[in-house]
Amino acid sequence: MKHNHNDSIACTVGECKFHCTTDDYCTLDKIQVAKHEPVASTVECTDCNSFQKR
């Protein structure tokens, strides 16, 4: 796993194994964002599908 964070992906989900332990960023090079409704109309309709429990 990469030790430096990605300045382009801010993240506050400390429970994710890809969360940088020293600040609120993701350590992945890219993430997959998905919707879980047929039509995404609010932020609550979307999720980071790259999440993995720490």
pLDDT of residue 3: 58
Our count of domains for the chain comes to 1
Task: Give residue 40's domain range.
Answer: 1-54
pLDDT of residue 11: 97
Largest CA distance in the chain: 36
Local mean pLDDT, 10-residue blocks, the chain (54 residues): 82 97 95 96 96 97
